[in-house]
Chain A
């Protein structure tokens, strides 16, 4: 019966080509607009580390006091001072922890034919690699001993390894960064979490891959300044040593806390730490701390661009209008066939049969709309670069999931839209139709 109704549906679609084309186009446009903007939204609202997002936390400590916090809805600063970060590292209350900041390192290739170049780089602790589940192609992270020894070691990315060592295992080899020599302990395989959760404060959350990592302790020894934000609420004084001891904030901190009990304990520890700073006279205010996991942190940092949200909402409104349009057109189409329905009913077709026939016909329209929508979504995803910044636009892709979603959305939406016209069609009294003829 399904196949027969489907065939009937297709035949009826051909009978009113203009009306059908209108419906198919309307559904196609509505679905395509929604899916294109959804593809951007999905990419920006992505959970970059789903297996661990509830175990990784960003602690925040208010070291600036209530006046500054008041400007930010009472929230503590979004970065940390060197003093607090190193104290937290020393106390070592989490399973793993790291402090991190972006640095600008120039790579000087041994190969004289290659010009020096810059790479996105971070200074952090060796723990970070295991914390963030970073996959290694060769070698491994540097050791705790290296961190403590402020060692000249580095981990590089796969792309950089390809460029400098033609893809060979470079573990144990040297690399010249800013004129200093570092020994490579590992090569990271493809790793580019999106959004770049570990440092959304200093990036726009969508950036190229990080290709070099060096120990935080060594970077500070070399007085390598942050390539990211540095915020001071008062004069830090002259020179590096004063700056590093100042209340200027420039560091991100991450702690790995395997379960909620650990997180609660860590919250208490943070408050205790802030209270201790208050007692020692550094803070003149009650402890004000936060501990957010990855999802909360990305949410708090408003990683999803406003444009992505607004355009998704507008597109959904657009789809709604397209569906209202479809309801009207289906109504016109079905009611035009009132006499045909009358005959079918008079010959013994039940209301249920009428429902089945017309809903299947609607589904056929929906499928056609979905196919048009798929084509338009494809074009939309290509054209996303016109609307969003390149680093966000490149994240929007047409994958299997999106293809299926497009088709399902088109069919489901059209069938939903068809309920009212179908109900009206099923209400047709056979006697009336036969009489007027």
Chain B
């Protein structure tokens, strides 16, 4: 295939060539960045939570009226007894929060009391001795809390329990390469000894601001005994999640009606919790996906339209070439090569544009740097798309009979 005649023909169609190349360049730039956004969002929403998601649900229980810390604590313990006695329930634990909740108590962890810079941020999870079993967490080292270590905590009490558990991610950050069990860390209210290390447990917020301490948590032996109420995390027996989710609020109301469990979101399965936490990521991925598909379709359609026009314009020339001995294959190849040349030019400009747009997004929206694999993938997709789009008009061109050369318009 000779390229020179194609180039000289293109020189006579500067505007059309430029428009197709521009369209390919811009499409490449947008599709690369959109695919990259999709990949990042999907990676974010498939991060593991570390808990037994299939069987867990959360009850948000709020008390009516005010009560003292002692009264609230007694009511919570009653509730837990009610929940644990339900036939479909394996275990239950009270907490101030749960993974993927969206926000809650985060605290700074220090290794010395007079340290100026924090060693790390961390999610604070309140837990009793049923916490590990309820969430289905594995201990990497040390031991679980003992029942007698759990104490009630009022809203403005100081947080500095004698013993805590930490996640492995936090242990590795605080004591890299060392055994964390038996070591001391400082929460805002004082020193605590680490008695256990939990293998994997996600933070309560998956937002960007909390990404610095995504898997770093401190689990404290506390029951949130405030008049407002707390969360009950419940683990159903396998296969009984739906039944247990219906039974739990009914049983709680039967035991003590002076409470509020919101009808809309008072009882949430972990699947719903996950869906809520990653709403934005999922939405963004869907939107970018839709835009990519429509964009590629429109670009393909544009190529079909303009090439069809060119084929119509050149029927005479094609006829002449055919009369002079060019095969159908030659004509087909001519248009395919022509498109490839334009696409390559567009892809070149598009690559530069894609990287430029990404760099700008990085400065404005705290995004990551585009990996070149995406640009490469995008280039391949667009070259294939161009070839596919040009195929139909090129086939039509190849069917122009040689006799066309003798006809005048």
* Residue ranges of A at the interface with B (Cβ–Cβ < 8 Å): 19, 22, 25-26, 29-30, 33, 67, 104, 106, 108, 115-118, 178-179, 222, 225, 232, 234-240, 242-243, 305-307, 309-311, 314-315, 317-318, 320-322, 324-325, 327-329, 331-333, 335-336, 386-389, 420, 424, 436-437
Confirm or deny: B260 has a beta carbon within 8 angstroms of a beta carbon on chain A: yes
- The CA-CA distance from A25 to B259 in the complex, in Å, is 55
Quick check: A225 and B116 within 8 Å, CB to CB?
A: no
Interface majority SS (helix, strand, loop, mixed), chain B = helix
Complex CA gap A317/B89 in Å reads 53
Question: With a CB–CB cut-off of 8 A, which chain A residues contact B294?
Answer: 29, 33, 318
Q: B280 contacts A329, CB within 8 Å?
A: no
| A233 CB, nearest partner CB in chain B, Å | 9
Instruction: Please determine whether A235 and B302 come into contact, CB atoms closer than 8 angstroms.
Output: no
Q: B305: which of A240, A307, A332 is its contact (CB, 8 Å)?
A: A332
CA distance A433 to B282 in the complex (A): 56
By secondary structure, the A interface counts as: helix
CB atoms of B155 and A225 under 8 A apart: yes
Name, among A33, A115, A237, the residue most crowded by chain B CB atoms within 10 Å (CB to CB): A115
Asked whether any CB of chain A lies closer than 8 Å to the CB of B279, the reply is: yes
The complex places the Cα of A324 from the Cα of B28 at a distance, in Å, of 14
B22 contacts chain A at the CB level, 8 A cutoff: yes
Do B302 and A325 have beta carbons less than 8 Å apart? yes
| Complex contact B157–A238 (CB within 8 A) | yes
Q: By the criterion CB–CB under 8 Å, are A325 and B23 in contact?
A: yes
- Contact in complex: A388, B283 (CB < 8 Å): yes
Residues A116 and B258 in contact, CB atoms below 8 Å apart: yes
- Report yes or no: B188 in contact with A234, Cβ–Cβ below 8 A: yes
**Complex: how many Å from CA A225 to CA B69?**
14
Contacts of A307 on B, CB cut-off 8 Å?
A: 280, 283-284
A309: B residues at CB distance < 8 A: 365
B394 within 8 A of A: no
CA distance A169 to B260 in the complex (A): 27
- Kindly report which residue of chain B lies nearest to residue A338, judged by CB atoms: B313
Selected interface stretch from B49-57, B133-141, B285-293: B285-293
Q: Contact partner of B291 among A178, A314, A420, CB < 8 A?
A: A314
A residues in contact with B37, CB < 8 Å: 310
**B residues near A235, Cβ cutoff 8 Å:** 158, 160, 188-190
Residue B34 CB within 8 A of the other chain:
yes
Contact between B158 and A331 (Cβ–Cβ < 8 Å)?
A: no
Contact of B26 among A25, A321, A389 (CB under 8 A): A321
* A310-B16 in contact (CB<8A): no
Residues of B within 8 A of A29 (CB): 294, 298
Q: Which residues of A contact B29 (CB under 8 A)?
A: 317
The answer to whether B65 and A179 have CB atoms under 8 Å apart is yes
CB distance from B96 to the nearest CB of A (A): 13
A178-B64, A329-B302, A331-B16 are known; give 5 further A-B pairs, CB within 8 A: A310-B361, A324-B19, A328-B306, A335-B313, A386-B283
Q: Closest CB of chain A to B341's CB: distance in Å?
A: 17
Q: How far is the CB of B66 from chain A (nearest CB, A)?
A: 6
Q: How far is the CA of A305 from the CA of B298 in the complex (A)?
A: 29
CA distance A320 to B291 in the complex (A): 13
> In the assembled complex, which residues on chain B have CB atoms less than 8 Å from the CB atom of A234?
188
Bound-state CA distance A155–B295 (Å) is 52
Partner of B288, one of A117, A118, A240, A314: A314
Counting CB contacts under 8 A, is B299 at the interface?
yes
B286 touches A387 (CB 8 A): yes
List the 5 closest A-B pairs by CB distance, nearest first.
A332-B309, A179-B65, A387-B283, A325-B302, A328-B19
A118 to chain B minimum Cβ distance, whole angstroms, is 6
- Which residues of B line the A interface, CB within 8 A? 15-16, 19-20, 22-23, 26-27, 29-30, 33-34, 37, 62-66, 116, 155-158, 160, 188-190, 226-228, 257-260, 262, 279-280, 283-284, 286-288, 291, 294-295, 298-299, 301-302, 305-306, 308-309, 312-313, 361, 365, 409
The smallest C-beta distance from A399 to any residue of chain B, in angstroms, reads 22
Residues in A with CB closer than 8 Å to B288 are: 311, 314
Interface residue from A67, A324, A389 paired with B279 (Cβ < 8 Å): A389
Least Cβ–Cβ distance between B91 and chain A, in angstroms: 28
List A contacts of B313 (CB < 8 A).
335-336
User: Which residues of B have CB within 8 Å of A331?
Assistant: 15-16, 19, 306
B31 to nearest A CB, angstroms?
10
24 cross-chain CB contacts under 8 A: A33-B294, A104-B62, A115-B260, A116-B64, A117-B260, A178-B66, A225-B155, A240-B156, A306-B365, A310-B365, A314-B33, A318-B294, A324-B22, A324-B23, A328-B16, A328-B19, A329-B302, A332-B306, A333-B309, A335-B309, A335-B313, A336-B312, A387-B284, A388-B279
Q: Which of A33, A310, A437 has the most chain B CB atoms closer than 10 A to its own CB?
A: A310
B26: nearest residue on chain A (CB-CB)? A321
Q: Let me know if B64 and A239 touch, CB within 8 A.
A: no
Q: Look across to chain B and name the residue whose beta carbon is closest to the beta carbon of A67.
A: B116
Chain A: which residue is nearest B261 at the CB level? Answer: A115
> Can you name the residue of chain B whose Cβ is closest to the Cβ of A37?
B287
Instruction: Using A225-B156, A386-B283, A389-B279 as known contacts, say yes or no to A318 and B365 having CB atoms under 8 A apart.
Output: no
Q: When the two chains form the complex, which single residue of A33, A116, A239 contacts B157, counting CB atoms closer than 8 Å?
A: A239
| Nearest chain B CB to A117 CB, angstrom units | 6
- Identify which of B34, B306, B309, B409 gathers the most chain A CB atoms within 10 Å of its CB: B309
CA distance A29 to B66 in the complex (A): 56
| Min distance, Cβ B200 to any Cβ of chain A, angstroms | 27
A237 to B188, CA, bound (A): 9
Tell me which residues across on chain B come within 8 A of A26, comparing CB atoms: 298, 301-302
Q: Are B64 and A106 in contact (CB under 8 A)?
A: yes
Q: Which of B260, B291, B302 contacts A315 (CB 8 A)?
A: B291
Residues of B within 8 A of A424 (CB): 15
Q: B190, B279, B287, B365 — which one has the most chain A CB atoms within 10 A of its CB?
A: B287
Task: Give every chain B residue within 8 A of A322 (Cβ-Cβ).
Answer: 298
In the assembled complex, the Cα of A67 lies from the Cα of B288 at a distance in Å of 40
B30 touching A321, Cβ below 8 Å? yes
Instruction: Kindly state the separation between the CA atoms of A33 and B302 in the bound complex, as whole angstroms.
Output: 18
For the complex, what is the distance from the CA of A310 to the CA of B286, rounded to whole Å? Answer: 14
B287 touches A387 (CB 8 A): yes
Say whether A22 contacts B305, CB under 8 Å.
yes
Cα-based distance from A234 to B34 in the complex (angstroms): 43
Which of B66, B188, B228, B291 is in CB contact (< 8 Å) with A179? Answer: B66
* Complex: chain B residue closest to A226, CB-CB: B155
Q: Smallest Cβ distance from B114 to chain A, in angstroms? A: 11
B16 in complex: contacting residue of A19, A22, A332, A437, CB < 8 Å: A332
Contact A179 B286 (CB under 8 A): no
The interface residues of chain B lying within 8 Å CB-to-CB of A327 are 19
Q: Closest CB-CB distance, B302 to chain A, in whole Å?
A: 4
Q: Which residue on chain A has the smallest CB distance to residue B409?
A: A437
Check B65 against A178 for contact (C-beta < 8 Å): yes
Inter-chain contacts of B16 with A (CB < 8 A):
328, 331-332
Inter-chain contact A108/B65, CB cutoff 8 Å: yes
Q: Which residue of A lies closest to B188 (CB)?
A: A235
Q: Which residues of A contact B279 (CB under 8 A)?
A: 388-389
Bound complex: CA of A19 vs CA of B116, how far in Å? 69
Known pairs A108-B65, A307-B284, A311-B287; A321 contacts B27 (CB<8 A): yes
Q: How distant is the Cα of A33 from the Cα of B257 in the complex, in angstroms?
A: 50
